[in-house]
Structure 1
Amino acid sequence: MLGRLYMIIPVTFSTRVSSSQWKAYTDPEGLNLQSPSIFISSPASASVGCYKFQLSVFTKDGQQKCAFGKFILLCNPWCNEDAVYIPFEDQREEYVQNDSGLLFMGTAANLVSRPWSFDQYEPGILETCLNVLQASPQHQSNSKVDYLSRNNPVYISRIVSAMINCEDDRGVLKGNWSGNFKEGVTPSMWTGSGEILRQWAQSGFSPVKYGQCWVFAAVMCTVMRVLGIPCRVVTNFNSAHDTNGNLVIEEYYSETGLKLNNSKDSIWNFHLWVECWMTRPDLGSGMDGWQVLDPTPQERSAGVFCCGPAPVKAVRDRRIDLLYDIPFVYAEVNAAVQTIIVSQGRVHSLSKDTERVGSLICTKAVGFPRLQNITGDYKCIKSPTSTLSSRSSTISEDSTIRRASSSKGVLVFLTLKKTPIAGEPIRFTVKVMNKHHVTKMMKVHLNAQAKEYHHTLSNTFWEDHGVIQLAPMEVKVLHQQILPAQYQGMVGENLVNLAVVLVDMASQEHALASKEFNITNPQLTIQIADEDSIVPDKEQMATVAFTNPFSQPVSGVLTVAGAGLIQGKVHFRMLPLHPGKRVERRITFTPSMVGTKMLQASLSLAENNSSIRGFKMFFVNRA
């Protein structure tokens, strides 16, 4: 019985099961009349849900005896007739069984690997994930149709995509990009899905405050893995939100290099969604495989804030005639960027950049704590390169050349000398080339703004202005730096938008180069005493360490967690730690099961409202 739906299955002595219908049998060879075993097998297309069953036994004289029970039926990626069958064991281990992972953030040139605990084996999480389906408007309005539709992972995934956000229903998470999180938890403070799903269930399905894209994606990944649907979290760097559908994102700058909030379109430095693995009989076999699903509420799909499943193959081939939401996802990875300078009421347009959006699309590699570049699955890459670093530098250099070349003879290039690190000066060069055969007097405007990954810009925190003279065909290199004291408020989740504008004082022609980057935070280090002999149910020791790289003392709270390793979280208060000093904390943990596990730690700094993180992945062996 599934809700009010039921089926009567006679128990036979035939042990041959069917993949297309329910079957119940008892083994005549090993039949124990005092304690018989009854086996029930489900068809590969059975609906997901919590089933009740009633076993009735009739005696020859007509007496009836009954037993009652229940079981939970999930999708089965190990069954080759199931719509979510994924053929490799290491992929099933990664995309279904793994209860921890990495979310990639920051920028394509300076990735941040954020640990996340999916928590699918934690107490109560299975039941809560089933309640995501039960609380949906589709189930509430017509439970019979909902139950019958749950044999289709396409249907299930659309329900979950809508239910992770709460815009149209009693969904799990409330989104907030305002910067004011007083009524809830700052999105960057979450470390796993379990606490969010538990809070949602315990509150009677009131939305948990607050989420942003990586939180929505990670929680959806948990729910899908619990339901047996292979799922992975994907990051799209420089993700376009094309509101008018013209595949062009306009970005505006002032004459002094200030980036302006003039456009309804936007580019997020990174955006996270999920991919789920399934067949698409509704579209044809060519569209089977990974499907994009995005639970972050951005655009409505069939009147509801959800997105997908959009076949990755359809996005790559621009099959915008197919279901679901392919045009929106296509724009997220393919839109062009047009940069415009607004000066004294005049518009100076600088040529389009077709490489920046979707510059890197990646997910966690199977079995290893590193990224897998899947950009080529989404788009045709004109000049594929073998490494992330070369690809990133090629993109940024190409973009700069294209943007600069529109200034009719004066080129400007903006280059970071090295990856910016918290506590060190940000050093960069401005290279100016005069391709004219006449001397040029140029105004030089430099501007640095803090920005959040989702396009919100703050005021200028550093600027520099001057005038340079360029002889015919001369090349000048200006060396600049931003000191730690000038950017210290930026350390944390923020990024920096750095721009240089050149203005020809004679012709009033403009040239612009810009770069967005994140500042690398220090990391916590985690060491395990005897890493090669970790087995279930045996207490282990780990050491979490932090060295203060900042120029001032820092203090805060250290939190250590690990699904299947530690019950709940362990907290330590850290007293003020002076610059250059190191602190260590020892913790114990006891693994509960075999497999890849992750210990993660975060240090919330009181001084600048940011978090420093660290993680350690290891394998728990059989005893």
Structure 2
Amino acid sequence: MYKKEKLHFWSPLSCTTATQCRLKFVNFDALENQSFHETAGLSKKHLVVRRGTPFTVTLQFCSRSFNPHRDSLVLEVWLGNRSERIPVQFSDKRSDTHSWSAKISPDGVHPQSVSVHICSPANSSVALYHLQLHIETNQGRRSYAVGGFVLLCNPWLKDDPVYMPLDAQLQEYIKSDYGLLYMGTYQNISSRPWSFGQYEPGVLEACLKLLEVSPQHLKDKDKDYIRRADPAYLSRVICAMVNCNDDLGILAGKWQGSYEDGVKPTDWSGSADILHRWASSNCRPVRYGQCWVFASVLCTVMRVLGIPSRVVTVFNAAHDCDGNVEINEYYSSTGKKLNLSKDSIWNFHVWVECWMRRADLGVGFDGWQVVDPTPQEKSAGVFCCGPCPVVAVRRRYIRAPYDTPFVYASVDADIVTLILQEGQVVGRKLDTEAVGKLIYTKSIDSDAPENLTGVYKSTKKRKQPAVVMKYQMMPGVGNTPSPPGEIPPGLEVSLSIDGQPSLGENISLCVTVTNQSSSPRLLMEHLNAQLKEFNSNPERSFWKAQKEVRIQPGEALTLHETIPSSEYESVLAGDDIVNVAVVIKDVKTKETVLDAQEFSISSPQITIEIEGGDVIQMKKEHTVQVSFTNTLAKTLTGAVLTVEGSGLLPGKQEASLVNLQPDKKIEKTVTIEATSAGTKLLMATFSHSSSPGVVSRSFCKVSVKAA
């Protein structure tokens, strides 16, 4: 019976003086193999190699030398309860990537040792394998459990379905442990760095554990092991396991309320800490995640497993609950956005693209695939989404698996905006442009964004003009009325934000009203501003204004409005999102038109300065100076400056002041020391007791070089 053993790169075994050839120890040549397989740094516990590419194991014997005329070597590879015998042959020919092989080259035989080149099929399953050696002679057979190795996908190999041809792509989408997430609104895009952390100790082991506790594995281990050869299957399993809604998954999601029993989603800056917490807690879900956290952790796991992946942000992403590719939005006649629809527009939504050939669909659907782990809608009864071919979204092949209709609606649904007054629809606007306004990912070898909008959206989409209706009864909440008689609009209105609103400053609005009729008109202007979460409709209003306006025939009138900082300073914090709407109503004809904008408030910056620059040596101390200057016009009470950095600092370090006067500074000096090479992140946050949340957050990318 085969007995699994913990891997040692050199596995000492017993020797006797018998005449049989006996195995003394095995050298897994970890450094050389992992360098050749582009897996260096992924694990200190296991040999990590890629499928379809040979790796070398050196067998050293005792008692007597290995004699190829008397001794036959057979390797047996075990995966769960299944095994495959691989006779070791003498050959210097290239290995066949479609079957297991084990070869000894002529120069690999020495008096007391032989070097065996082992090659797995290019379609092998991703898993931890165990290896047995059988030495067979005329006198019998001796068997040894010699250790194990982890087999990953191989995007460097043409025969592998995750093959990626360009080295720059492989560096960015497999090997890079650093990324950028794009957030905010499409008019004010902010970026924040993320440490994928695939080289942090224990991360690879956590990813393997994730596969071992999946429902598919727990239900049928052998079937799961076989199916793990397919990257589409792997991505679907991992996607469901990143959220904990149906299984022993990694993250619990939360979008409102208190986060005191966990970590606020905005406080995460890397995947390693999340994966460590999950693995060390016996698979209890880590609290809490939101879309960018789910996506970033998924990207880490996929890169570890060898599937090229990148994080993608869709600005103005539609969440289409009823599948009609239409999002209804409701406003009151005074400009307040109403929470009457299950559908919603997220200011931004983050998912992952994974690169693979789709053998189940054909070559036309190869390439980037959307995989979305944020638990929004169920797919085949489970909270996961994808893999959905991006090309299918662009070409509207909505029957292509998986979840193409949902992804298509996310980037290309129509928005129908209805203005309600006393239960009646008094205005209607159709927008075919707003959803999927911008789609961004980090560029290769650059912190600049790459615009993917044209990759997802065809320019041939039919455009429809906006229309205005009079007094059409709304048959039911959430349903768009079918207007029996549409009238051409006599009024047009547009709303814009002047500049980039910053915390502590007044917000300047510009309203342009155009009278397309031949008569002068008396209008009522209503303005309303509401705080909103990025993924839902706004709730409460914090500012309102109204006034009468007269406009001449054919005139385009520009109105300037201001939201004083005093009206929002107790409500808004840095990076908060505001929905502001203007409703223009003709007092006589009752014609009603609306425009709305959503924008985020920028916050004062925190300065992070590393002594000697942001490239540091591993295991060497470096001093960091962190400071925040109060640029607001008021004194901030209970000011706290916090610094943290996974792999650089133990825990959080803080500085505090009872009162931080205007134009005064709060500072904190910390000493960092990196324990491993790669890209690390320092994060600094500033808050004060009178703010509803964090006032400012800054990051610094640190490149750690091996000592």
8 Å CA contact 2:641, 2:668 repeated in 1: no
Paired residues for 1:481-560 under 5 Å: 481-488=562-569, 489-531=571-613, 534-550=616-632, 551-553=634-636, 555-560=639-644
1:52 deviation in Å?
Answer: 1.0
Aligned pair in 2 of structure 1 residues 142, 66: CA closer, same or farther (>3 Å)?
A: same
Task: Give CA-to-partner distance per residue, 1:590-610, whole Å, 9 cap, x none.
Answer: 456666x24331314143222
8 Å CA contact 1:525, 1:615 repeated in 2: no
Paired residues for 1:420-459 under 5 Å: 420-459=501-540
8 Å CA contact 2:308, 2:354 repeated in 1: yes
TM-score by length of 1: 0.92
Report SS of the residue matched to 1:145: helix
TM-score by length of 2: 0.81
Equivalent position of 1:5 in the other structure: 82
Equivalent position of 2:197 in the other structure: 119
Counterpart check, 1:14 vs 2:97: no
Aligned pair in 2 of structure 1 residues 50, 203: CA closer, same or farther (>3 Å)?
A: same
Counterpart check, 1:476 vs 2:557: yes
Task: Output the CA distance in 1 between the equivalents of 2:705 and 2:166.
Answer: 21
Equivalent position of 1:394 in the other structure: none
Equivalent position of 2:381 in the other structure: 303
Equivalent position of 1:386 in the other structure: none
Counterpart check, 1:408 vs 2:489: yes
Counterpart check, 1:581 vs 2:664: yes
Paired residues for 1:95-174 under 5 Å: 95-174=173-252
Query: Partner letter of residue 459 of structure 1?
Result: R
1:621 deviation in Å?
Answer: 5.8
Paired residues for 1:146-295 under 5 Å: 146-295=224-373
Query: Partner letter of residue 642 of structure 2?
Result: L
Aligned pair in 2 of structure 1 residues 248, 364: CA closer, same or farther (>3 Å)?
A: same
8 Å CA contact 1:78, 1:86 repeated in 2: yes
The structure with higher relative contact order (CA 8 Å, sep 6+) is: 1
Equivalent position of 2:476 in the other structure: none
Report SS of the residue matched to 2:261: coil
8 Å CA contact 2:336, 2:541 repeated in 1: yes
Paired residues for 1:270-419 under 5 Å: 270-381=348-459, 402=466, 408-419=489-500
Task: Output the CA distance in 2 between the equivalents of 1:544 and 1:23.
Answer: 56
Residue range with higher mean Cα deviation, 537-546 or 295-304: 537-546
Task: Output the CA distance in 1 between the equivalents of 2:200 and 2:211.
Answer: 19
Task: Output the CA distance in 1 between the equivalents of 2:217 and 2:183.
Answer: 35
Task: Output the CA distance in 1 between the equivalents of 2:565 and 2:508.
Answer: 11
Equivalent position of 2:115 in the other structure: 37
Task: Output the CA distance in 2 between the equivalents of 1:452 and 1:426.
Answer: 19
8 Å CA contact 2:132, 2:143 repeated in 1: no
RMSD: 2.4
Equivalent position of 2:6 in the other structure: none
Task: Output the CA distance in 2 between the equivalents of 1:117 and 1:246.
Answer: 38
Task: Give CA-to-partner distance per residue, 1:525-581, whole Å, 9 cap, x none.
Answer: 333333386454544444333222233325124123155xx1554422332432222
Task: Give CA-to-partner distance per residue, 1:481-510, whole Å, 9 cap, x none.
Answer: 112221122124531000111111111111
8 Å CA contact 2:177, 2:199 repeated in 1: yes
Task: Give CA-to-partner distance per residue, 1:242-286, whole Å, 9 cap, x none.
Answer: 112221111111011110011121111111100000111111111
Task: Give CA-to-partner distance per residue, 1:385-419, whole Å, 9 cap, x none.
Answer: xxxxxxxxxxxxx99x9589987222222121111
Aligned pair in 2 of structure 1 residues 133, 327: CA closer, same or farther (>3 Å)?
A: same
Which residue of 54, 74, 80 corresponds with 2:158?
Answer: 80
Task: Output the CA distance in 2 between the equivalents of 1:111 and 1:207.
Answer: 31
Residue range with higher mean Cα deviation, 84-93 or 135-144: 84-93
> Number of residues paired by the alignment?
605
Task: Give CA-to-partner distance per residue, 1:334-363, whole Å, 9 cap, x none.
Answer: 101111100123202323111100000011
Query: Partner letter of residue 550 of structure 2?
Result: Q
8 Å CA contact 2:370, 2:387 repeated in 1: yes
Percent identity reads 46
Query: Partner letter of residue 100 of structure 2?
Result: W
Paired residues for 1:57-72 under 5 Å: 57-59=135-137, 61-62=139-140, 64=142, 66-72=144-150
Task: Output the CA distance in 1 between the equivalents of 2:231 and 2:615.
Answer: 40
Report SS of the residue matched to 1:422: coil
Query: Partner letter of residue 589 of structure 2?
Result: S
Task: Give CA-to-partner distance per residue, 1:96-138, whole Å, 9 cap, x none.
Answer: 1111211111011101112211111111111111111111111
| Greater per-residue helix proportion | 1
Report SS of the residue matched to 2:599: strand
8 Å CA contact 1:232, 1:275 repeated in 2: yes
Equivalent position of 1:561 in the other structure: 645
Equivalent position of 2:24 in the other structure: none
Report SS of the residue matched to 1:95: helix
Task: Output the CA distance in 2 between the equivalents of 1:18 and 1:588.
Answer: 52
Counterpart check, 1:615 vs 2:704: no
1:148 deviation in Å?
Answer: 0.4
Task: Output the CA distance in 2 between the equivalents of 1:375 and 1:129.
Answer: 31
Aligned pair in 2 of structure 1 residues 568, 25: CA closer, same or farther (>3 Å)?
A: farther
Task: Output the CA distance in 2 between the equivalents of 1:251 and 1:36.
Answer: 72
Task: Output the CA distance in 2 between the equivalents of 1:423 and 1:237.
Answer: 26
Residue range with higher mean Cα deviation, 444-453 or 58-67: 58-67
The runs of 5 or more residues in structure 2 that have no matched partner are: 1-77, 470-486
Task: Give CA-to-partner distance per residue, 1:43-87, whole Å, 9 cap, x none.
Answer: 111100011111222355435252420111111111221111111
Equivalent position of 2:543 in the other structure: 462
8 Å CA contact 1:404, 1:413 repeated in 2: no
Task: Output the CA distance in 2 between the equivalents of 1:265 and 1:67.
Answer: 57
Report SS of the residue matched to 2:297: helix
8 Å CA contact 2:644, 2:652 repeated in 1: yes
1:224 deviation in Å?
Answer: 0.6
8 Å CA contact 2:427, 2:592 repeated in 1: no
1:371 deviation in Å?
Answer: 1.0
Task: Give CA-to-partner distance per residue, 1:132-164, whole Å, 9 cap, x none.
Answer: 111111100000000000110000000011111
Aligned pair in 2 of structure 1 residues 368, 527: CA closer, same or farther (>3 Å)?
A: farther
Task: Output the CA distance in 2 between the equivalents of 1:63 and 1:310.
Answer: 51
Query: Partner letter of residue 330 of structure 1?
Result: Y
Aligned pair in 2 of structure 1 residues 80, 588: CA closer, same or farther (>3 Å)?
A: farther
Equivalent position of 1:600 in the other structure: 682
1:208 deviation in Å?
Answer: 1.5
Residue range with higher mean Cα deviation, 196-205 or 431-440: 431-440
Query: Partner letter of residue 614 of structure 1?
Result: S
8 Å CA contact 1:25, 1:39 repeated in 2: yes
Task: Output the CA distance in 2 between the equivalents of 1:324 and 1:520.
Answer: 38
The runs of 5 or more residues in structure 1 that have no matched partner are: 384-397
Report SS of the residue matched to 1:421: coil
